[in-house]
């Protein structure tokens, strides 16, 4: 009996040894490793939708990419970004949104209200993060700021509210200002039902006793030059623009035309002043695009848009360019200069 038991133990041990040798053999392990290499993890694909131009938005998209990189998402390595630009043709946005959906993007970043509405109209399942909209509740993008309730969340730029502040600054900066030209992009898109910016500006102009001359224009060079000619014909004392991605993309040309026609102007982003513009007052868009990247990171890691509250802009900047003021012989009052975050001399 004892010999039989010992024999059984030797037999079991020999079997176990053979199994262990087989499992540990490189000939078995190498094919397994090869199989894993052939089935890498899925790389997230982000869609970016914008109604302006790639060149015009490059500076802000660089900020977005840099922040994504800090969060561990490196384009071309562990994330893919598919960008679509409408080149100022708003009616193309639905088609471009549909294209991003066909590419099976995991998330869509929508730049501005028009892009956000086009993306939302195209999908109710793919998460959408807005970089900067006016009032997302009024636009029908979310149920409420605290609880978006659908597939859209992101950042609000308070665009409409800030236009009145810009008009007030312009009146303080330009002595005896009575008439202001308001440059607006001509919009033929079905996505727009009224313009909340002008709706908010008109009563503000009445309060400030300023005549608001609304000038609609296409954004090609010839049309923009014609718009400034109209402004001069209407004898405006200064000019401002509504906020929008396509106007931002044409900032260099707009700034140059304001100088050419010797019109004081205030803009909605500091990048206009970087191009030689007179003044800007508005949201720090670099901050908004960095925070957009944070939302993208959260959603790619499993958060749901419905559970991420829409955040409003918290950083604002007022910049004055005294070089530009000198070019048009404008003396800006000291009380206005003292309010600026930055004065370029």
pTM: 0.78
Residue 76 has pLDDT above 50, yes or no: yes
Query: Edge-to-edge, what's the strand order for the sheet holding 279-283?
Result: 211-217, 179-185, 238-241, 265-267, 279-283, 316-321, 342-344
Is the Cβ–Cβ distance between 132 and 288 less than 8 Å?
yes
Is 252 found in the same domain as 114? no
Round the CA-based radius of gyration of the chain to a whole number and report it.
28
Is 236 found in the same domain as 131? no
* 289 vs 277: CA distance, rounded Å: 22
Is 323 found in the same domain as 308? no
- Would 16 be classed as within a structural domain? no
Point out the least confidently predicted range of 5-19, 274-288, 311-325: 5-19
Is 193 found in the same domain as 65? no
Residues 223-274 pLDDT 10s = 999 999 999 999 999 999 998 888 999 999 999 999 999 999 999 999 999 9
* Higher pLDDT, residue 9 or 115: 115
Rounded to an integer, the average pLDDT of 148-161 is 87
Rounded to an integer, the average pLDDT of 129-133 is 93
* 106 vs 300: CA distance, rounded Å: 8
Domain hosting 174: range is 159-283+316-344
Q: Are strands 316-321 and 279-283 parallel, antiparallel or unpaired?
A: antiparallel
Helical packing angle, 251-260 and 221-233, nearest 10°: 40
CATH number (domain holding residue 134):
3.40.50.2300
Percentage of the chain with pLDDT > 70? 85
Is 103 found in the same domain as 54? yes
Residue 171 has pLDDT above 80, yes or no: yes
- Would 36 be classed as within a structural domain? no
* 325 vs 160: CA distance, rounded Å: 26
Residue 39 has pLDDT above 70, yes or no: no
Which residues, other chains included, contact 206 with Cβ-Cβ below 8 Å and sequence gap of 6+? Answer: none
- DSSP, residue by residue, 92-136: GHHHHHHHHHHTT-SEEEEESHHHHHHHHHH-SSS-EEEEEES-T
- DSSP, residue by residue, 132-170: EES-TTTTTS-S-SS---SSEEEEE--HHHHHHHHHHHH
What's the pLDDT at 310?
Answer: 96
Bridge partners of residue 122, in order along the sequence: none
Rounded to an integer, the average pLDDT of 181-200 is 69
Cα 113 from chain centre: 10
Residues 81-113 pLDDT 10s = 999 999 988 999 999 999 999 999 999 999 989
Binning pLDDT at 50, 70 and 90, where does residue 211 land?
Answer: very high
Is 219 found in the same domain as 131? no
What's the pLDDT at 42?
Answer: 86
Residues 190-199 pLDDT 10s = 334 457 788 8
What's the pLDDT at 187?
Answer: 63
In 3D space, the residue among 273, 319, 311, 274 whose CA is nearest the CA of residue 292 turns out to be: 311
| H or E stretch at 125 | none
Query: Edge-to-edge, what's the strand order for the sheet holding 107-111?
Result: 80-85, 45-50, 107-111, 128-133, 152-156, 311-312
- Would 19 be classed as within a structural domain? no
Is 153 found in the same domain as 59? yes
- Would 32 be classed as within a structural domain? no
Which residues, other chains included, contact 166 with Cβ-Cβ below 8 Å and sequence gap of 6+? Answer: 240, 266, 268, 281, 282
Is the Cβ–Cβ distance between 252 and 225 less than 8 Å?
no
Is 197 found in the same domain as 77? no
- How many structural domains is the chain composed of? 2
- Would 73 be classed as within a structural domain? yes
Is 235 found in the same domain as 109? no
- Would 334 be classed as within a structural domain? yes
What's the pLDDT at 132?
Answer: 87
Is 228 found in the same domain as 300? no
Percentage of the chain with pLDDT > 90? 77
What's the pLDDT at 134?
Answer: 82
Is 128 found in the same domain as 212? no
- Would 78 be classed as within a structural domain? yes
Length of the chain: 345
Is the Cβ–Cβ distance between 257 and 224 less than 8 Å?
yes
H helical segments located in 208-319: 221-233, 245-249, 251-260, 270-274, 285-300
- Would 195 be classed as within a structural domain? yes
* 62 vs 305: CA distance, rounded Å: 24
Residue 201's alpha-carbon distances to 54, 129, 196, 313, 319, in angstroms, are 29, 28, 9, 20, 21
Is 167 found in the same domain as 110? no
């Amino acid at each position: 009996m004892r010999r039989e038991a010992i024999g059984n133990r030797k037999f079991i041990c020999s079997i176990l040894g053979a199994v262990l040798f087989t499992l540990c053999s490189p000939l078995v392990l190498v094919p397994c490793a090869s199989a894993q290499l052939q089935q890498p993890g899925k790389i997230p694909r982000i869609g970016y939708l914008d109604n302006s131009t790639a060149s015009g938005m490059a500076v802000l998209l660089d900020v977005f990419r840099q922040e994504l990189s800090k969060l561990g998402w490196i384009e071309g390595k562990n994330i893919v970004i598919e960008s679509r630009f409408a080149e100022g043709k708003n009616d193309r946005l639905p088609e471009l949104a549909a294209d991003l959906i066909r590419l099976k993007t995991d998330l869509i970043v929508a730049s501005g209200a028009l892009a956000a509405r086009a993306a939302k109209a195209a999908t109710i399942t793919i998460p959408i993060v807005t970089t900067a909209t006016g009032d997302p509740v009024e636009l029908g993008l979310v149920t409420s700021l605290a609880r978006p309730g659908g597939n859209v969340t992101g950042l609000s730029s308070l665009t409409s509210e800030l236009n009145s502040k810009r008009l007030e600054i312009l009146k303080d900066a330009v002595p005896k200002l009575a008439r202001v030209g308001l440059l607006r992009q001509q919009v033929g898109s079905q996505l727009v039902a009224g313009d909340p910016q002008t709706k908010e500006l008109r009563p503000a102009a009445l309060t400030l006793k300023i005549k608001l001359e609304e000038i609609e224009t296409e954004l090609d060079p010839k049309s923009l030059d014609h718009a400034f000619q109209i402004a001069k014909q209407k004898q405006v004392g200064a000019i401002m623009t509504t906020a929008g991605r396509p106007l931002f993309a044409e900032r260099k040309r707009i700034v140059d035309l304001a100088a050419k026609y010797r019109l004081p102007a205030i803009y909605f982003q500091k990048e206009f002043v970087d191009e030689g513009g007179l003044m800007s007052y508005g949201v720090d868009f670099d901050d908004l695009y960095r925070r957009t990247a944070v939302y993208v990171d959260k959603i790619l890691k499993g958060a749901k848009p419905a559970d991420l509250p829409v955040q409003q802009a918290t950083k604002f900047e007022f910049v004055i360019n005294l070089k530009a003021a000198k070019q048009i012989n404008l003396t800006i009052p000291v009380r206005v200069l003292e309010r600026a975050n930055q004065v370029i001399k």
